[in-house]
Amino acid sequence: MIDSIGQVMLYVGDIESAAVFWKEKMGFERVEKQVQGTQVSYIVAPKAQSDVQFVLHDKAQVAEMNPDMNLETPSILMAAVNLEETYQKLAAKGVAVHPILDLGFMKVFNFADNEGHYFAVRELKHDGF
């Protein structure tokens, strides 16, 4: 049936500002800019060849086309091999980060984008888990 997850849709209030946040503060690459009439969306990912990408859509435009659609930000847990270094780099770039927590089974921290949406980053062990 389903073999993988390719893209996660993120609905944002200011698409240009969101694209800048993910590129400049998070270090993501802009994989593609899509323009269809007056609608613009950006595909961003940690690396151009990442298995999963974020697609940034203008929340107001999507709501206009699909008024019953849930446009809230999903809970997304990302992974980093060097959690402490990632935390320090994001904090130095002015990203709103919360302290690293050791939950026993994993280390994790939360951060907020420029619109206050929260995401999490967990430590990726060298064995892949």
* 9-29 pLDDT, tens digit each: 999 999 999 999 999 999 999
pTM of the model: 0.89
Distance CA 12, CA 52 (A): 18
Q: What is the 3-state secondary structure (H, E, C) of 57-77?
A: EEHHHHHHHCCCCCCCCCCCE
Pair 87, 97: CB distance under 8 Å: yes
* 39-89 pLDDT, tens digit each: 999 999 999 889 999 999 999 999 999 999 999 999 999 999 999 999 999
Pair 90, 97: CB distance under 8 Å: yes
Q: Do 83 and 60 sit in the same domain of this protein?
A: no
Tell me, what amino acid is at 98? Answer: H
CATH number at residue 90: 3.10.180.10
Structural domain harbouring 56: 7-65
Q: Do 118 and 90 sit in the same domain of this protein?
A: yes
**Count: domains in the chain:** 2
Tell me, what amino acid is at 106? Answer: M
Q: Do 43 and 87 sit in the same domain of this protein?
A: no
- Per-residue b/e over 68-97, b at no fewer than 16 CB within 10 Å? eeeeebeeeeebbeebeebbebbeeeebeb
